[in-house]
Every structure is written in C-alpha cells, then in structure tokens.
Chain A
C-alpha cells in the first residue's frame, strides 16, 4: 500500500515542480540564501585551509623522510666486479627502490678538492672504497634493510643517519596526530555551524511548510525542494570557499617562499580541480544532511 503511494508521488512531472519550487524558494528568500551561503563558505574555507595546511605538512615531512638513503661502502681494495656483485645482491632484497654505484675517481677528485691537505700528505693512488647509494621504498624499513645489507659479503660499513631519521619520523607522526584531531574537531564544528544556518533558513519558512501540509502535501513533497535547496547552498558555499582558498593559498605560499626558500617544496599535493571536487562534495553532502535533519523537526507535528 505504502509503496503504491510512493511511486505515485515520484513522477517526472512532480520532480520538475519540486526542483522549480527549490529555485523559486532560493530567489524569493534572497537575504536568507546569502546568509547561509556565506556562513557555509566561511566555515568550509576555514576547514579547507586547515586540511590543506595539514596535507602540506604531511607532504613536507614525507618528502624529507623519503630523502633518507643508505650509504654502503665495500671493504678497502675491493675490485669493481665485487662492487657490481654487491649492488646486484642488494637489488634482490625486497623493499629496495634502486642502487647506484658512485664513480670512485670522481669521488676522489671531489675529496681532494675539499681537503687539499690530504694531497700534500703524499697519499699514493685512490684509497677510497666503492660506495653504493641505496634508496628504499618505505622509510620505516630503513633499520631492517640496513641490517640485512650489513650481513652481505664485501660490506665494510653501512651508514644510515639513524638518529636524524628517528627524530624526523617522530616529528612526522606528531604532525599527523595533531592535524587529524584538528580536522575531526573542525569537521564537527563546521557541520554544526552549517546545519544551524540551514535550520535558520527553514525556521524563516515554517509558515510555508505548515501551509504545504494543510493543502495536502506529503512529507516527501515538502522535503525534496528543501533538500535540493540545501545541496545548492552547500555547493555554492563550497565554490566561494574554493575561490577564497585559491587566492589566499597562493598568497600564503608565495610569501612563505620569499621568507624561507625551503618552503619551495611546501605544497598540499592537491590540484586545484581536486580541491574543488572535495569541497563541492563536502558542501553538497553537509547541505543535504543538514536540511534533512532540520526538516525532520518541522515535519514532526
């Protein structure tokens, strides 16, 4: 019985009317629309800015961690063939990204340039061992992999910069935890602010909702235009937030770069289109849910 009634109310003609209602509602309640859209825009912009900063920080620390390499030195006097064999066996270990053998002569030339005093000490020939630069896939496997490499034949010495690495990882974890908590809190606050804004626009229209009920509108007919309205408000707010973030974000990165060139690598890693997509999705979903939850209260009686 219920299903039959449902199907009857959801026909094409009616949907066209419901969408029409949503848009005349928005136009006629212009000031209210402006207030909700700007509230949504500002809260989404704050949330977005925080998420972007968080992503930037994570991106930055991940980049630093990824730069960690393992330096492997062959035993003194080992021939080139041994170094090649060692490189091959390191490559076979799981979790290794790439291995390169440094040019021994070039390294020696560099060394001599840096320390001319050694030259005068009258060293004969090139005393340097072969050095291998090993890059790994996952930074957290650094210790494990360096132990494995150390056990291989012809390895004299393995250098990992353990202490610095540990500190950077700890910092990255702290940033991740703090920003995650921050995002959760901000998300809840944003949802609250937005649903409040939507409830206000509905409150202004409670008379209209009541009259709809009295002329025999089903709850479905009343709800649909208001949910569409919520989605439109949420999306419009998201669009404004996107513009604010693009302009503001560009300015912040630009001035940061001038102060500390290191920030050149500071980026969220999210493209403009990606940011727009996520903001629109968040705006539309929050708008729809906010409307649905608020309308339930008005339809109760």
Chain B
C-alpha cells in the first residue's frame, strides 16, 4: 500500500543549511577523542550518547550514566516499561533538553555543546513523531505540513508537491482539509508521521508512533518506517508494542529505571533469556 517513495532522496552528509563549523569533520571527532571520550572515529556513527545522566527539577533521575551508539542507517527499537526514560532519551537527541552530564552527538554535531542559534538547524535534519503528536490545533492537516516546510524556507511549488506525496504515503489525502480535533487518534498519528517525514530527515525519531492504532494499521505504519529506513534514514522508535518489535526482528535497546539493561541485534520485546 505504500507506493511511490520517489521523494526520499539519498542523504546529503553536508547539509546546506548548517553552518560549516558544525559539519562532521575528522578533526572535530579526533579532538573529542583527545578529551578522553571513547568516541568512534568512523563516519558511520549517526547517534552517539555517552555517559548521559538526566535529573529533572523535581529530583527524578530519568537517565543514569546511559551510553548508546547507533550507526547510520540502523533501525532501532527502544523499549522499556513506562517511566523508564525512553522519551527522555529521545528528547536529548533533538535537544528539547540538555543532560545534567554526558555528551550527545547526532550526525557529527555535538548537541550538548551547541549554541542555541544552531538548534533549529539540527532539528531540520531530524523528523520527530511526538508521543502527543504536537499538531497545530488552528491549522488543518495540509497547513500543518505546509507550515513545517515553509518555516524552513521551502518554495511554495515544492511545498505542494511534497505534501501531496507524503499524504499519499501515510494514506491521509482524503482528510487533508480536517483540523486535528476533527481527526481520530490514528489519523492524527498519521498526520504527525507525515510531518516528521516531510522534510526528508536524516534521522527519524518516533515516540510511540503506533500508540493509538489498531494492529493492522500499526503494522502498516511500521512497514512504512522500514521502507523509509531502507532508503537510508536512521530510524529510532520507542514503543510498547510487543507484536511489532517481535515481528520486525530489529535491534532492541531496553531501558529500565534510566539504565540500558539490554541491547540486542534482531531482538524481541522481552528478554530472550527470561
């Protein structure tokens, strides 16, 4: 059902909108190494989270000395019981928050040391599906997608083309005039996914993208994520959906109380040993 992936182009490693000094450069990585971090020098590392701790203002320790490395083009599920720190880990990647300690590097950019003015340009490389969708309530689906493109300066002609493609991809073309409060939970979720994809992201970060969908639709959505992954996008997906994780046989990172307790290639939702 998901045809026409023509709009997903191979990635530019050098993003035209990112100031040059933030591009991945060997010297930059080497200098990180000199500082004592055991950071891989290969260009293939997309997400590098090292010894990260997060403590919220109310004293909750959401992440404790967590380290995760994800290569370019990987498809990774992040699982764990509710409150285990999945959303917190994802928030660090799109710099919704800074860790109390540790380093986060995404696509060669040091997210933890980044100037605030560079943050919008980091986010333009990422597609994020939020647990609570975060669609603009005053705008219909089409306008929500157009907004995400125009905010970053896309030409109106290009906007029309892209929205048409991506709406068809998520199967929402017929509801493009509806406002978020006129959509079912699943339809809102599709709109949120469409917005995350519209910018042809380098990394797709999805926080429970199938939370409100029936099993068949959930499976369709995950197939869609896999198709996007095959085209070269690194996909990181936090989920509670055991059927999907078991069915996909992808890398699984399990968090528990802010710590990585399992990191398995071709893993299942539950620990295979237990």
Interface residues of A (CB under 8 A from B): 1-2, 4-5, 8-9, 11, 13-14, 17, 25, 28-29, 207-208, 210-219, 221
Residue contact A9 to B151, C-beta cutoff 8 Å: no
The secondary structure that dominates the A interface is helix
Question: CA of A219 to CA of B119 in the docked complex: distance in angstroms?
Answer: 10
Select from chain A the residue with minimum beta-carbon distance to B149: A215
Q: Write out, one digit per residue, whether chain B residues 53-90 have a CB within 8 A of any chain A CB (1) or not (0).
A: 00000000000000000000000000000000000000
Q: B residues within 8 A CB of A216?
A: 120-124, 148, 151-152, 199
Query: How many residues from B make CB contacts under 8 Å with A?
Result: 30
- Chain B nearest CB from A209 CB (Å) reads 10
Residue contact A215 to B195, C-beta cutoff 8 Å: yes
Question: CA of A217 to CA of B17 in the docked complex: distance in angstroms?
Answer: 12
With contact pairs A28-B138, A214-B134, A215-B195 given, residues A11 and B19 touching in the complex (Cβ less than 8 Å) = no
- State whether the Cβ of B266 lies closer than 8 Å to any Cβ in chain A: no
Q: B residues within 8 A CB of A25?
A: 138
Total A-B contacts with CB atoms under 8 angstroms apart: 64
Question: Of A11, A207, A214, which contacts B153 at CB under 8 A?
Answer: A11
Question: CA of A1 to CA of B121 in the docked complex: distance in angstroms?
Answer: 13
Q: A residues within 8 A CB of B124?
A: 216
Residue contact B19 to A5, C-beta cutoff 8 Å: yes
Known contacts A13-B155, A13-B156; 16 further A-B pairs (Cβ under 8 A):
A1-B20, A4-B19, A5-B19, A8-B153, A9-B153, A29-B138, A208-B138, A212-B147, A213-B123, A215-B123, A215-B147, A215-B195, A215-B199, A216-B124, A216-B148, A217-B152
- Chain B nearest CB from A297 CB (Å) reads 15
Interface residues of B in 186-200 (CB under 8 A from A): 195, 199
- State whether the Cβ of B96 lies closer than 8 Å to any Cβ in chain A: yes
Select from chain A the residue with minimum beta-carbon distance to B20: A1
Question: CA of A132 to CA of B195 in the docked complex: distance in angstroms?
Answer: 88
Question: CA of A4 to CA of B21 in the docked complex: distance in angstroms?
Answer: 13
Q: B residues within 8 A CB of A210?
A: 134
- Chain B nearest CB from A211 CB (Å) reads 5
Residue contact B136 to A208, C-beta cutoff 8 Å: yes
Question: Of A1, A215, A219, A221, which contacts B19 at CB under 8 A?
Answer: A1
- State whether the Cβ of B94 lies closer than 8 Å to any Cβ in chain A: yes
- State whether the Cβ of B41 lies closer than 8 Å to any Cβ in chain A: no
Residue contact A13 to B153, C-beta cutoff 8 Å: yes
- State whether the Cβ of B150 lies closer than 8 Å to any Cβ in chain A: yes
- Chain B nearest CB from A18 CB (Å) reads 9
Interface residues of B in 103-137 (CB under 8 A from A): 117, 120-124, 128, 130, 134-137
Residue contact A2 to B117, C-beta cutoff 8 Å: yes
Select from chain A the residue with minimum beta-carbon distance to B127: A215
Q: B residues within 8 A CB of A4?
A: 19
Select from chain A the residue with minimum beta-carbon distance to B128: A214
User: 10 nearest interchain CB pairs?
Assistant: A216-B124, A216-B123, A217-B151, A28-B138, A215-B148, A216-B120, A218-B120, A17-B150, A1-B19, A211-B134
- Chain B nearest CB from A40 CB (Å) reads 22
Interface residues of B in 156-214 (CB under 8 A from A): 156, 195, 199
Q: B residues within 8 A CB of A14?
A: 150, 153
Select from chain B the residue with minimum beta-carbon distance to A17: B150
Select from chain A the residue with minimum beta-carbon distance to B126: A216
Q: B residues within 8 A CB of A213?
A: 120, 123
Question: CA of A25 to CA of B143 in the docked complex: distance in angstroms?
Answer: 12
- Chain B nearest CB from A83 CB (Å) reads 81
Question: Of B96, B137, B155, which contacts A214 at CB under 8 A?
Answer: B96
Select from chain B the residue with minimum beta-carbon distance to A28: B138
